[in-house]
Amino acid sequence: MQIADTKQRLFRRFTAVTIIAVYLLIAIGGIVRSTGSGMGCPDWPKCFGSWVPPTSVDQLPKDYKEDYVQQRIAKNVKFAKYLTALGFDDLAYQVENDPSILEEEDFNAVKTWVEYVNRLIGAVIGLLIFGTFVLSTRYWKKDRPITVLSFIAFVLVGFQGWIGSIVVSTNLLQWMITIHMLLAILIVCLLIYVYFRSKRNDFDTITDDSSKLKWITIACLTLTLVQIVLGTQVREGIDEIAKIAARNEWIENLGLTFLIHRSYSIALLVLHVYLFFLLSKNHQLKVAMKWLVAIVGIEILSGAIMAYFSVPAFIQPIHLLLGTLIIGVQYYLLLRINHKKEFA
């Protein structure tokens, strides 16, 4: 029994470390985005055709831009065929005909290494999730969904890597970046569920009005996902405005989407405060709820800093990380509220 308990603790700790590492990768992805380093490596999985990227443009052939554009075109043609087969004809047409996809940036050593470090950490995350799957096999007979979902998380990491390659080949096509981010959130939620399920018998059943709490938490979770998608659209708008306007003019040139995104955050805060009020007498969930309201408040503050201080680069990855953290805490709360204690 002691050996079994030790293995369970190892699995839970390893899974917890993996979840933290995925969030770290999301933060680094935000740094890549805010520094404009997404195309620091124009190919994938290598960087400028090498596992160790160059440090100087002198190490590259003179026609490197043309070569990588042609490689991207070939890859995008294949991707467009997949989209067409799935019925997304308009998206396929965009991938094949968007002129911005053919734009190749000048070599920048700093951006190249920022993107390269992002990929290295992504590879480490893949190994951690594979380790989570390996450790989960001990649950195959006792609790098979833990092993199955751990395997699905590992498969999704591989798919996420492929999506990352498409993000590069499409020259950071905006809707591809959104898919890339949402898939990362899905992987985090799978890992959170696996962690929770592995220790669910350690938790008591919530005796409050769990049905009401559940639906309010689901509302918070759903509306936060909508807010994140709105945020990606705001970011898309900034990317376009940045091509023609100075940084201090970005916010004033954003349209209705930004106004909705800004006002929507207040509604989310009110909803979370209401949920906190409902849970204020429940000692089991009060701490998690405090963290959630605090993160929501800091997220709104970071958004205000971006709005009033010309979108400083250092705040952008923090804003992204906090948004995904909110989803994780909300999902964990939902699991706890919906939990019915069982005994194996």
Domain's final residue, options 171, 198, 225: 198
**Among 18, 11, 20, 17, CA closest to 136:** 11
Higher pLDDT, 332 or 240: 332
Q: Tell me, what's the pLDDT at 3?
A: 53
Distance CA 29, CA 70 (A): 26
Is 109 in the same domain as 243?
no
Q: Tell me, what's the pLDDT at 152?
A: 96
Is 193 in the same domain as 269?
no
Is 273 in the same domain as 293?
yes
Is 181 in the same domain as 102?
yes
Is 169 in the same domain as 236?
no
Distance CA 247, CA 316 (A): 14
Q: Would you give the DSSP letter of residue 58?
A: G
Distance CA 238, CA 163 (A): 23
pLDDT digit string, tens, across residues 2-45: 555 777 889 999 999 999 999 999 999 888 888 888 878 888 77
Tell me what the mean pLDDT of segment 218-244 comes to. 86
Q: Tell me, what's the pLDDT at 343?
A: 44
Q: Would you give the DSSP letter of residue 294?
A: H
Q: Tell me, what's the pLDDT at 344?
A: 44
Residue 167 in this model has a pLDDT that exceeds 60: yes
**Among 211, 204, 244, 136, CA closest to 343:** 204
Distance CA 160, CA 205 (A): 35
Is 181 in the same domain as 316?
no
Residue 204 in this model has a pLDDT that exceeds 70: no
DSSP string of 186-208? Answer: HHHHHHHHHHHHHTGGGSPPP-S
Return the percentage of the chain with pLDDT > 70, whole number. Answer: 94
Ranges of H-type helices in the chain: 2-34, 64-85, 89-97, 109-136, 144-169, 174-198, 210-241, 256-279, 283-308, 315-337
Q: Would you give the DSSP letter of residue 252?
A: G
Tell me what the mean pLDDT of segment 322-333 comes to. 93
Tell me what the mean pLDDT of segment 221-241 comes to. 86
pLDDT digit string, tens, across residues 298-317: 999 998 898 888 888 889 88
Tell me what the mean pLDDT of segment 149-164 comes to. 92
CB 72 within 8 A of CB 172: no
Helix 315-337 and helix 210-241, axial crossing angle in degrees, nearest 10: 160
Distance CA 130, CA 117 (A): 20
Maximum C-alpha span of the chain: 69
Is 179 in the same domain as 302?
no
Is 183 in the same domain as 240?
no
Is 133 in the same domain as 225?
no
Q: Tell me, what's the pLDDT at 4?
A: 56
Domain's final residue, options 175, 198, 221: 198
pLDDT digit string, tens, across residues 16-27: 999 999 999 999
Q: Tell me, what's the pLDDT at 139?
A: 92
Q: Tell me, what's the pLDDT at 206?
A: 66
Domain count, the chain: 2
Is 167 in the same domain as 210?
no
Higher pLDDT, 122 or 98: 122
Q: Tell me, what's the pLDDT at 205?
A: 67
Q: Is it true that the peptide bond before 45 is cis, omega within 30 degrees of 0?
A: yes
CB 184 within 8 A of CB 125: no
Return the percentage of the chain with pLDDT > 90, whole number. Answer: 29
Q: Tell me, what's the pLDDT at 341?
A: 59
Is 153 in the same domain as 216?
no
Q: What are phi and psi of 309, to 5 degrees?
A: -125, 35
Report the SS3 class of residue 339: coil
This prediction's pTM:
0.88
Q: Which two tokens stand for residue 124?
A: 């480490």
Report the SS3 class of residue 183: helix
Is 141 in the same domain as 91?
yes
Residue 210 in this model has a pLDDT that exceeds 80: no
Report the SS3 class of residue 178: helix
Higher pLDDT, 257 or 139: 139
Domain's final residue, options 179, 198, 217: 198
Residue 258 sits in which domain range? 205-344
Residue 208 in this model has a pLDDT that exceeds 70: no
